[in-house]
Structure formats: structure tokens, C-alpha cells
Amino acid sequence: MKNYAIEREKWSEFLKRIAQKENIYAPFMREKNIEYLHVNADNADSIEYHIAKPTSSVKIFFFPIKENVVKNALEKRQIIIGVPACDLASLNLMDKIFLDEDFLDPYYQKRREETILIGNDCYEITDSCHCTAYDIAPYPTKNYDINLASHEEKIYLSVNSEKGEKFFDSIKNGDFQEIDSLPDAIDMKRMKTAEKVKKQNKQLPELDSTRKLVLEDHEKVWKKFAKTCVSCGACSAICPTCHCFLLLDKENFEKIKNWDTCQYPSFEKVAAGEDPLRRLYDRLKNRYLCKFVHKPDMFGEIACTGCGRCIDACIGEINKNELIIELSNC
């Protein structure tokens, strides 16, 4: 792995130049939320680095909310800066689903091939962050092409893939200095953040225990937490691994792929009106079964990365971690 250092001011100037010809996204403060926006000469100085996570997950770049799979043109190359480790981890599952050779999604495949992922160390956390509970570090360890870390007035880039190396070699200039290793201060920041997440979630059961807990009955717990659920589907929409969709037929043989979720009423309704998930608390439990049982059994990957977005987005204030902790106390 090659490492490079560049002055922060020169890094911003560099981004302003390449943004004139490259399709770049990065996290920015938008009102009270952090969202991915296009980078240009006017906003490159305002990119938010080392935040816990943008409001939307990186899946929106590969699996759009809605797309016409007959007419939509495949996008040009895109560079995404500031992807947190929890989102990078989600690609383990998403790739297995959409890049399966028997059920290949060519649109997803093209976007993955044409995207440069620049990861980002988390130097801060939110109350909902719990990545370490599922063996994910709060800094990129996989699925990134280049990683970005910073210390004092310097930006440090670590090239991690052949695609990342080829891309970086094509754009770098004399402002980048190759270095043998990252400063010890960055390792210290990583350790400090990881300890914060672990301390915050010391009551949360580890992965194997969580699987067993959601498989048990405990109907009272599911009913209790489902009382405030309004079936809005926000938890699924915001989740980096939820991938259900509807394929809608339109006029002139057009087909529209649109996000769907198991939290919607009638999600599993079949002929004669049968619906295995008719009851609200069954739909809630089904989502946890999908995350911790079904997806690991089918794909060998957990479908929760501990990002905590489902907790933040829930208008019924259902806290996933509190639910699991309560299951453990039954």
C-alpha cells in the first residue's frame, strides 16, 4: 500500500481543479444534516471530513431509489470522497446480491466498476454508532480504493486497490509526497474512536448472541417496540444493506425499478389475501431476522453494519439497540 501526504490547502486546490472534469461527491453540511453533494470550485473548501456518517448511505450511488432499467443511460465515472467504514462494509453483502453471476444487475455492476471509493476515518461518533459490536472498525479496512485521513494541516491518502492506484497515478501532481507510513497520531485517533464506540455499546450483545435472541419468541418485546411503528419504511430506506425493490411495468415496455421494504403493509401479501407479515410486530421482527439470520445463512454476510441510521431515522423512535438489549434481558 502506497501512502501520500499533501498540505490541506493544496488538497482543496487540487479538488477544485479535478472537479472541472471529474464527477466528484463528498459530504457537506446541508442545514442540520450531512449529505453527499457535488464538489465544485465553490464548495471544495467546505467538505466535511471524519464525521461519523453522512445521512444517506453510499448505496444510493449504486442502487438508486428509482431507475428506468430500459432507458436509463449508464453514468460516467464518479469519485466518492468520505465513505465511512460502515458503508464500505455493506458492500460485502450488496456485491454478493447484485453481482451474482446468475442474477447479475448490469446497472449496479457498471456503477461499481466506474466508481472510485475514497474512504474516510471517523474521528467522531454519534449516539447511534455501534460498528464495533459487529467487528467493524470506525476506519476503512476493506472495499475502498483510497483512504483519507488527516492530522494537523495535512491530508494523508493510502492507496488500497489496483483501480485506486491507476486512478491516483493519472491525477496526482507534485504536491503529493510519497511517505513510508502514516503518522502514529492517526493510529492513536483510530484507537480512540474505536474505544468510544465500544464503551458506548458495552451492553449490546455480540453478533452470535444477537442471532440467537432474534430467533427466540419473546413476542411481548416485539409487540412493545412495534407500538410506535407507522410502517413508513424509513429504517429500510436509510439502511446501507436493504436492497428490496419492485419492478414496475410501464407503457412502451419500460420497466421501473423502485425501492421496496418489508416494513410496508402487504409486502408479502399473496394470492387469496394471505399475508405472513400482516401483523405489525411480525414485520418488525422480520427485519431483524433478515439482518441477523436470513442474510448470513444465504450469503454468509451480516446485513447490519452498526451505522445506526435506522435509529436516527425512525419517527416512532424505535431504538434497535435498546430492543436487542431488552431481548437479552428476557
- Going by pLDDT thresholds of 50, 70 and 90, the confidence category of residue 75 is low
The grid cell for 267 is 409486502
pLDDT value, residue 73: 62
**Does 98 score more than 80 pLDDT?**
yes
Share of the chain above pLDDT 70, in %: 99
d(CA 233, CA 162): 38
Q: Is 250 exposed, middle or buried (0-12, 13-18, 19+ CB in 10 A)?
A: exposed
Closest to 129 measured CA to CA, from 187, 188, 190, 194: 194
b/e code 280-309 from CB counts within 10 Å (16+ = b): bbbbbbbbbbbbbbebbeebebbbbbbbbb
- Over residues 27-51, the pLDDT tens digits come to 999 988 999 999 999 999 999 999 9
- Over residues 212-271, the pLDDT tens digits come to 999 999 999 999 999 999 999 999 999 999 999 999 998 888 889 999 999 999 888 888
d(CA 200, CA 97): 32
pLDDT value, residue 72: 63
- Over residues 116-161, the pLDDT tens digits come to 999 999 999 999 999 999 999 999 999 999 999 999 999 999 999 9
Task: Specify whether the CB–CB gap between 214 and 287 falls below 8 A.
Answer: no
